[in-house]
Amino acid sequence: MATPQFLKTLKPFKPRIVESMQGYNSQRFLKDLGAGVTVGVVALPLAMAFAIASGLEPQTGLFTAIVAGFIISAFGGSSYQIGGPAGAFIVVVLGIVNQYGVANLIACTLMAGALLFLMGLTGLGSLIRLIPVSIVIGFTNGIAVLIALSQVKDFFGLNIDTIQGNFFEKNWALLQAIPGLNWSAFLLASISLAFLFLWPKLFAALCKGRTESVFPKMLQSVPGSVILLLVGTLVSFGLGLDVETIGSKFGEIPRSLPTLALPSIELASIQTLIGPTLTIAFLCAIESLLCARVADGIAHEKHDPNQELMAQGLANMASPLFGGMPATGTIARTVTNIRSGGNSPVAGIVHAFTLLIIMMVAAPLAFHIPLAVLSAVLMFVAYNMGEWREFPKLKQYSTIYKVIMLATFLLTVVVDLTVAVQVGLVLAGVFFIYRVSTLTEFIPIYLKDEDRAKGIVAYKIYGSLFFAVVGKIENLILNTKKSTQVLILDLHQTISIDTTALEGLEELNAELQRAGHTLVFCGLNNQALSLFKRSGFAAQLLPGQIQEDFSSAILHAHAISIEDQAGA
């Protein structure tokens, strides 16, 4: 039985780990083991912080990092990608939780996972790369600002409930609550944030003159956020600071993964969840493939974008079944993996098991972690996430680039991520169409005196003939003089023609015929000639109206002129 044609176009399911296992040995495993443990430790505070900032319980982030992190590494298209909860999802998930509830967040994540898998299976992973960098930078910076704003409450220890409303209402509520800030929380968060910024210099100072000591090497493998988590918790607990902690807000973190549970999805609510589902899928695809490209640049390896999307899809279908949230590739953890010696997807699998072991052994210790410290970690993440240097560099770019980037950034911050990306894509499309239309030129061809005397006029068309340049075709009708006998259009440098432009050419031909003129085409490429024939336009033309080259077109124009004179 023959294989259906559509099945032949589907991309194969080929996880990178299969290729990576060729020639795998104990030496490579030890490198992956060290990198995986390091990344697992790095992911610990971030996973909890991202979940809390998203309006979920801290264990949700851990479950996501363990389950989704394992699947993304085991089935992904990159040797280095580390998956889990990401800062980019904070704003999206928080909005879905506040508007639709946790149950519908699970439904959205499941549907987004299925959509991501289909995107990879059908080869759409390559198309994600076509999104302009101005849009990516705009919404990335916008998300970074929103992450920072979402942490103001815990950073200042403000005693207010979850804030509802639009951007201005939320920030007005925060400003009104500032006089009642908790000075203990504010000072702890401020010192924590300063520590994170100063940690590289502090580490360098501690290691100065101790190059032979084991201490610097041990300290180097521990990220500043983990040290901050330990020290901040000890200081808060030891001094008895009156600050909100994970335990006081969420209770104890469980020591094991929850049992697999199928969610109950109401079919009636699916329609209302299409928008959030598309947002999660789109953001996951962008973040994961952007992360994979960063990894490629560092490790000099090429990832498989379609396989990566299939893995992301599986991860986002599995994560909510175990109490998790949306997951994607994470740049900070992926870069840490590469720099720590990770050389295959095994490192990502080790990272997932490291988190599982930590959760099983040390979960009760998280009870005393201050939310102010976690808010400082997220403020630091937001700062590092943003491409802030792009704003001063805007003066170097075109007006189109500036408009798209700033519009995407402002709409992300003030309105909504989905709206921002939609508007950004529309603006990018409109500006691209305008730009391409300006590149299409109708250039008059200089003819000999004898040619002009016989009423021959010729134009060479550069670029593409499509809907945006129909006006230029219409101008040919207006600019054709009564003395013109033959109008030649040389299309050998015309890249393509669409159906709208073809209709314009048909109208041009009809108008010229009614006025007693003849239109001659020459130099058509395969695409243009095929369109002429498939549309039936070629059959409408008289013999000789399509010529192979310009010289043939001139000869045919002379023949028409002689016939007209004989007829007269």
Q: What is the pLDDT of residues 225-246, one digit of tens each?
A: 788 888 888 998 888 888 888 8
pLDDT over 90 at 188, yes or no: yes
pLDDT digits (tens, 9 = 90+) for 338-370: 888 888 999 999 999 999 998 888 877 788 889
Averaged pLDDT for residues 373-381: 87
> What sign has the CA pseudo-torsion 340, 342, 348, 350?
negative
How far apart, in whole angstroms, are the C-alpha atoms of residue 303 and residue 305?
A: 6
How far apart, in whole angstroms, are the C-alpha atoms of residue 520 and residue 543?
A: 10
Highest mean pLDDT among 156-170, 414-428, 460-474: 460-474
pLDDT digits (tens, 9 = 90+) for 120-143: 998 877 777 677 888 888 888 888
pLDDT over 80 at 563, yes or no: no
Task: Tell me which DSSP letter residue 264 carries.
Answer: -
Cβ atoms < 10 Å from Cβ of 149: 16
Spell out the alpha helix ranges (H) of 415-522. Answer: 417-439, 449-453, 470-479, 499-514
Q: Which pTM value belongs to this model?
A: 0.76
Confidence of residue 219 (pLDDT cuts 50, 70, 90): low
Averaged pLDDT for residues 193-201: 86
241 Rama sector, left if φ>0, alpha if ψ -120 to 50, beta otherwise? beta
Cα–Cα nearest to 245, from 364, 139, 353: 364
How far apart, in whole angstroms, are the C-alpha atoms of residue 227 and residue 200?
A: 12
Averaged pLDDT for residues 186-207: 84
Residue range(s) occupied by CATH 3.30.750.24 in the chain:
441-567
CB 63 within 8 A of CB 352: no
If DSSP codes are grouped into helix, strand and coil, which group holds residue 494?
A: strand
Report the run of H or E that residue 336 belongs to, with start and end: helix 331-339
> What is residue 212's predicted lDDT score, i.e. its pLDDT?
55
pLDDT digits (tens, 9 = 90+) for 31-58: 899 889 888 888 888 898 889 888 899 9
* Residue 27: exposure state from Cβ atoms within 10 A (0-12, 13-18, ≥19): exposed
How far apart, in whole angstroms, are the C-alpha atoms of residue 363 and residue 47?
A: 13
Phi, then psi, of 344 in degrees rounded to 5: -160, 170
> What is residue 206's predicted lDDT score, i.e. its pLDDT?
67
- Locate tokens 């590092």: which residue? 384
> What is residue 2's predicted lDDT score, i.e. its pLDDT?
53
> What is residue 255's predicted lDDT score, i.e. its pLDDT?
80
pLDDT over 90 at 552, yes or no: yes
CB 148 within 8 A of CB 379: yes
pLDDT over 90 at 501, yes or no: yes
Cα–Cα nearest to 454, from 547, 542, 556, 562: 562
pLDDT digits (tens, 9 = 90+) for 82-121: 999 988 888 889 889 988 888 899 999 999 999 999 999 9
Averaged pLDDT for residues 11-15: 89
CATH topology of domain 441-567: Transcription Regulator spoIIAA (3.30.750)
Highest mean pLDDT among 5-19, 144-158, 259-273, 302-316: 302-316
Confidence of residue 216 (pLDDT cuts 50, 70, 90): low
> Can you read off the two tokens belonging to residue 193?
């944030």
Q: pLDDT averaged over the chain?
A: 86
Task: Tell me which DSSP letter residue 462 carries.
Answer: E
> Can you read off the two tokens belonging to residue 64?
């996501």
How far apart, in whole angstroms, are the C-alpha atoms of residue 187 and residue 327?
A: 32
Percent of the chain with pLDDT over 90: 35
